[in-house]
Amino acid sequence: MRSTTPLRRVLPRLVLIAGLVLAVGAHAERADRNKPLNAEADTLRYDDARQTSVFSGNVVITKGTIVIRGAQVEVRQDAQGNQFGLVTGKPGAFRQKRDGVDEHIEGQAERIEYDSKAETVKFTGAAVLRRYKGSQLNDETVGSVIVYNSGNDTFSVDGGPGSRTASNPSGRVRAMFTPVPKADAPTAPAVSPAPLKPSAQLGEGRP
């Protein structure tokens, strides 16, 4: 069966990812678990016997705060209602808000696998995971394989050929973590901006 109409299906929460076995302070958005899934693509092939849906062509899937993009996304459900997804093509992309804070996790890779039963997301091939506070990039991890476990809020990263790029020819794991400021840290004094000049004065003094 083919369809270009957005579909709604129930998909358990998709979780985030990153590398270097590190505990994080907040969980993925809890409300996403019970939100409907909306999928939009150029084509859809659905197999009722296998409980599998394959979306192809500029696929965009949303579920609560979750956004997934890829050239192809396959979603499968088992008899217990657990769902599994595979994102392939281009690099796929994953984004989700973290619960209770103004933070988002964004990841991308050549292949993304999510497993609702194990509560894991796996990025493979030129994998990148970023954490944003508001619109500000806070942490970034790069590797060949990144696996995040939302059940215990840990992640791991492996290096290798899949993470080699022009800027990282060795393929080793790379990470950037912004330190958390102390609660009693002094606030930097505000700096008054330079006074603005009318545009007619900007060229004064030039030959």
**83 strand-pairing partners:** 77
3-state secondary structure of 89: strand
**Helix, strand, coil percentages, rounded to 5, for the chain:** 5, 50, 45
3-state secondary structure of 2: coil
Structure confidence at residue 165 (pLDDT): 65
Number of residues that make up the chain: 207
Domain 7-178 has CATH 3.40.50.1110: no
Structure confidence at residue 144 (pLDDT): 92
CA gap 105, 183 in Å, rounded: 24
**pLDDT tens track, the chain, 207 positions:** 444 333 333 222 222 233 333 334 456 666 776 677 789 999 999 999 888 999 999 999 888 888 889 999 999 888 887 778 899 988 899 888 877 888 888 999 999 998 878 878 899 998 998 989 999 998 999 999 999 776 677 789 998 876 666 666 777 888 888 877 666 656 555 555 555 444 444 444 444
Structure confidence at residue 53 (pLDDT): 94
Residue 33 class from Cβ within 10 Å (0-12 exposed, 13-18 middle, 19+ buried)?
A: middle
Structure confidence at residue 151 (pLDDT): 65
Decide: 83 and 11 in contact? Cβ < 8 Å. yes
**Rg value, the chain, Cα:** 21
**68 strand-pairing partners:** 61, 94
Cβ neighbours for 185, distance < 8 A, ≥ 6 positions apart: none
